[in-house]
Amino acid sequence: MSRPIPIDNPKIARRHFLAAASAAVIVVPKGALALDGASLGVVGDTGRDVTAQLEDAIRQAAGRGASLQLDAGDYLVSDLKLPTGARIAGNGARLILSGGDMLLSAEDQRDIQLSDLSFDGKGQGRRGTETTLVGFRNCENVVIENCGFADFESNGLYAETSSINVTDCLFSGFGETGLHLQDCRLSQLRGNRVLKSGNGAIRVWRFEKGFDGTIVTNNQISGVGSDSGNGQNGNGINVFQADGVVVSNNVIQDCDFSAIRANTTRDTIISNNQCHDCREVAIFSEFAFTGSVIANNVIDKAATGISITNLDDEGHLATCTGNVVRNILPSSPTNPDTYPVGIYVEAEIAVTGNVVEDVPGLCIGAGWGPYLRNVLIANNVLRRGQVGVGVSVVDGSGAVQITNNLIADMSQSGIAGFEWDKMVAPDLKSGDYAHVTLGGNTFSG
């Protein structure tokens, strides 16, 4: 017969209490308290929906300021709601959509953390709708780390009017967008991979123009399609009406339209990105933009390399510096209105220190009809194109200065004047047009 444990012995009582409790309570390496899901009745691989049990376990853990640790396995879930303070972690735990429109969501909550989990939509959802696999609305301090999102006909992750950090996650197989932020603020999207998106990989959008401040960096994107439109879909990273956004150090390839598209934005920085195989404009700053910095990007294979345009909508004010643009396509397979141009600009723009090579059109284009104003094109290296620099000479065109460029191996002209798409001055010289200043350019080949 075993001896009873003397509970008045504090050392023995404490030791046995901790041993009994260890199945339910874990001290994670950082010192934060964690509760084991199995001890709270949440078990994977049951083949049954465990939404109610999982919600209850999450509430218990959040109430104690603890994270919920899920064991490896498949957990069938539908429309699970996350409370404030929810922290869920799993090593091999996969949450699978068992029905309904959404796997999990939170609204009007804060301090939520999801890590080391997989979210699988199993091909469910309705393409072309605003449904999402995982969603947040009016939430603060949402952190998602090292998670996988897969196979849903709409969006992978949608966050609205929230602050959210998404790091080191994988998004794959979404009919709409992998990761969509709408009216969010001061968020960060870092180190994620977004593969096989039907209409977009990453979107940073706002319903009305305003400050956003999101940072999109170190992401890898490939396989972006488009099922409609002429630019709102088919983009790797799409920034719309969101000001103060930084897009840097991303690797983007195989997009039906743009690798990076900034529409009606203010003070956007697009820098140090790799853009490969874009079937329209690789980097686009368009419509009523102002204050774009486009610097030190590499573009290899696109229908147009960089376009900074839409003076007709007061799009103006940018720098385009230090970019490498090469292998421009003769036409766009997705937008027939796209011309083969390395870099195209219109108003209050400095185009300096770029290298452009292999363009079956203009290496640099300045203006379309009267839409040209205060453009500097200087110290660029342009090689193997039809025309080195093409500039609009239509009446009403604004000032342009073209100086100190090295222009080599052009098949038609080094510097030429255009009236819209018609070359009217194949050998443009200083003084030919009052608004055009030329000087110090070097021609070879």
CA angle (263, 264, 265) in 5-degree steps:
95
Name the DSSP class of 227.
S
- Evaluate whether residue 1 is within a structural domain: no
Phi, psi of 406 (to 5 degrees): -105, 115
Question: What is the dihedral sign for C-alpha 286, 289, 290, 296?
Answer: negative
Residue 2 CB neighbour total at 10 angstroms: 4
Handedness of CA 392, 270, 192, 141 (dihedral sign): negative
* Mean pLDDT, rounded, for 438-443: 98
Of 8-22, 195-209, 395-409, the poorest mean pLDDT is in 8-22
pLDDT at 13: 35
pLDDT for the residue 442: 99
Q: What is the per-residue pLDDT for 345?
A: 99
318-357 as b/e: b if 16+ CB within 10 A: bbbbebbbbbbbeebebbeebbbbbbbbbbbbbbbbbbbb
Taking residues 105-122, report their average pLDDT. Answer: 99
Query: Region 340-359: what's the mean pLDDT?
Result: 99
pLDDT band at 353 (very low <50, low <70, confident <90, very high): very high
Nearest CA among 335, 324, 325 for reference residue 305: 325
Q: Tell me how far apart the alpha carbons of residues 382 and 440 are, in angstroms, rounded to a whole number.
A: 14
Are β-strands 235-243 and 200-211 bridged in parallel, bridged antiparallel, or unpaired? parallel
Q: Average the pLDDT over 331-351 and give the result.
A: 98
Does 322 fall in a domain? no
Tokens 């193997």, residue located: 384
Q: What CATH number is attached to the domain comprising 437?
A: 2.160.20
**Greatest alpha-carbon span in the chain:** 111
Domain-located, residue 255: yes
Print the domain residue range for 312.
Answer: 10-317+333-339
Task: Kindly indicate the confidence band of residue 3, based on its pLDDT and cuts at 50, 70 and 90.
Answer: very low
Q: Is residue 325 part of a domain?
A: no
In a domain, 172, yes or no: yes
Q: Is residue 327 part of a domain?
A: no
Residues 43 and 144 in one domain: yes
Q: What is the pLDDT of residue 229?
A: 85
Q: Is the dihedral of CA 185, 188, 192, 193 positive or negative?
A: positive
The predicted-structure confidence for 359-369, as pLDDT tens digits, reads as follows 999 999 999 99
pLDDT at position 81 is: 98
- Do residues 306 and 292 lie in contact, with contact meaning Cβ atoms separated by under 8 Å? no
Q: Are residues 163 and 249 in the same domain?
A: yes
Same domain? For 256 and 391 the reply is no
Both 94 and 177 in one domain: the answer is: yes
Spatial CA neighbour of 355 closest among 297, 410, 412: 297
Q: What is the mean pLDDT of residues 241-254?
A: 99
Residue 32: its pLDDT value, please?
66
Length of the chain: 445
pLDDT of residue 126: 85
Q: Note the pTM of the prediction, 2 decimals.
A: 0.93
Q: Is 70 exceeded by the pLDDT of residue 22?
A: no
Number of domains forming the structure of the chain? 2
8 A C-beta contact, residue 176 and residue 128? yes
268 and 346 part of one domain? no
24-53, pLDDT tens digit by residue? 444 444 446 999 999 999 999 999 999 999
Q: Is residue 25 part of a domain?
A: yes
Predicted local confidence at residue 148, as pLDDT: 99
Q: For residues 236 and 179, state if they share a domain.
A: yes
Half-sphere exposure of 192 (CA within 13 A, CB side): 28
Residues 345 and 303 in one domain: no
The closest of 293, 425, 418 to 362, measured between CA atoms, is 418
Average pLDDT over residues 413-424: 98
User: Are 97 and 31 in a shared domain?
Assistant: yes
Q: How far apart are CA 143 and CA 271, in angstroms?
A: 25
**Could you tell me the CATH number of the domain that includes residue 293?**
2.160.20.10
The reported pLDDT for the residue numbered 343 is 99
Residue type for position 184? C
pLDDT at 129: 66
Q: Of 339, 372, 392, which one is at a domain's C-terminal end? A: 339
Quote the pLDDT of residue 127. Answer: 81
Residue 5: inside a domain: no
Whether residue 235 contacts residue 247, with contact meaning beta carbons closer than 8 Å, is answered with: no
Instruction: Give the β-pairing of 324-328 and 355-366.
Output: parallel
